[in-house]
Amino acid sequence: MTEKRRLLFITLSNIGDLVMTTPLLEALHLSYPDHLIDIVADARSSDLLLPCPYRGRIIHKEKKEGVRGSAKLVMTLRERYYDIPIDLRSALLTLFISCGQRGFKRRGTSGGQHAVQHHFTALGAISGLPVEIPPATLWLDDDAKERAAGLLADLPKGRRLVVAPGANWPGKVWPIEHYAALLGALEHHFDSVIVVGSKDDYNLGLRLKAAARLPILNLAGTTGLLEVAACMANASAFVGNDSGLGHMAAALKIPTVTIFGPGQPERYRPWGTRATVVLAPKAELAALKADVVAETLFAHLASHAEPVQKVE
């Protein structure tokens, strides 16, 4: 049996950054449906790629190993020939492997304001790829869905709100008291809440659980990435800070509201029509009121013909 031809896709490390590379990954697959795509990724986010139906190998780039790690990676990649390698980190790595035409992000050029649009500059002179940028995508396997069903078993069915109250640095965190006020404003519009985040956010989930009247499942720091994605998948809405979880929610096609204080929403907001943002006044998150976020959520849901119905 002849082995399938292969492409190489060198993606980014952080969860949100990885999710924002999936439109380009999808574009490659649509253009070369008979190829497998080997993916160089970071161990902290690569689990999201495991169920991808057209991936080949997932190869980890270990930053901590420095030059030795880079040499090991090159030797691994030299085991195969790649028709096209796309490198979203730099152009250097693909110079040392056996491949056809190369693609890498062009510095000083941009296909638009958003990072996803900039990723598509990596196509350069490579022809035959879709002009339209696909949506961000996440894939779920049966094992993750089964584990999620167990985690959600005791949570009331109906309209579920996912909340992500943490972020990777404190300057991006909307005060937890404001999240508690938001849940108070939404308590007649949703049946339950799922709190997601890292292990550092677990105590934030406990504070919300103590303050809210809605049933709350606190998953922060207790699941893997695929499990939390599967738990989020059928939610009615997502509200969270500027973090990878908002990108995951948007890729799962959940109506998503991301709260921005400091940052560049025009560049790093979740990609897709089902995602919107709310901006803190003068980038001061403490000044953003819960009712403004609630109104943004209601307007966003209404614009997608999914009005929130009051739960009697």
Q: Is the pLDDT of residue 311 over 50?
A: no
Residues 196-219: what's their mean pLDDT? 97
Q: What percent of the chain has pLDDT over 70?
A: 92
Give yes or no for a contact between 223 and 151, defined as CB atoms under 8 angstroms apart: yes
Q: Is the pLDDT of residue 102 over 90?
A: no
Give yes or no for a contact between 196 and 162, defined as CB atoms under 8 angstroms apart: yes
Q: What is the pLDDT of residue 106?
A: 58
pLDDT tens figures, 277-299: 999 999 999 999 999 999 999 99
pLDDT tens figures, 231-267: 999 999 999 999 999 999 999 999 999 999 999 999 9
pLDDT band for 69, please (50, 70, 90 cuts).
confident
Q: Is the pLDDT of residue 109 over 60?
A: no
pLDDT tens figures, 2-34: 678 999 999 999 999 999 999 999 999 998 999
Rounded Cα gap, residues 148 and 170, in angstroms: 29
Bridging pattern class, strands 160-164 and 84-87? unpaired
Residues 64-82: what's their mean pLDDT? 86
Q: Is 220 helix (H, G, I), strand (E, B) or coil?
A: coil
Q: Is the pLDDT of residue 123 over 90?
A: no
Cα angle value 302/116/33 (rounded, 5°): 100
Q: Is the pLDDT of residue 308 over 50?
A: no
Q: What is the pLDDT of residue 310?
A: 36
For helices 176-186 and 290-303, give the axis angle rounded to 10 degrees. Answer: 50
Q: Which of 142, 138, 172 is closest to 250 using CA atoms?
A: 138
Rounded Cα gap, residues 87 and 118, in angstroms: 13
Mean pLDDT is highest, among 89-93, 113-117, 120-124, 230-234, for 230-234
- Domains for the chain: give ranges and CATH numbers: 6-123 (3.40.50.2000), 142-303 (3.40.50.2000)
Tokens representing 107 are: 């510095």
Q: Is the pLDDT of residue 307 over 50?
A: no
Q: Is the pLDDT of residue 312 over 50?
A: no
Q: What is the pLDDT of residue 107?
A: 58
Q: What is the pLDDT of residue 254?
A: 97
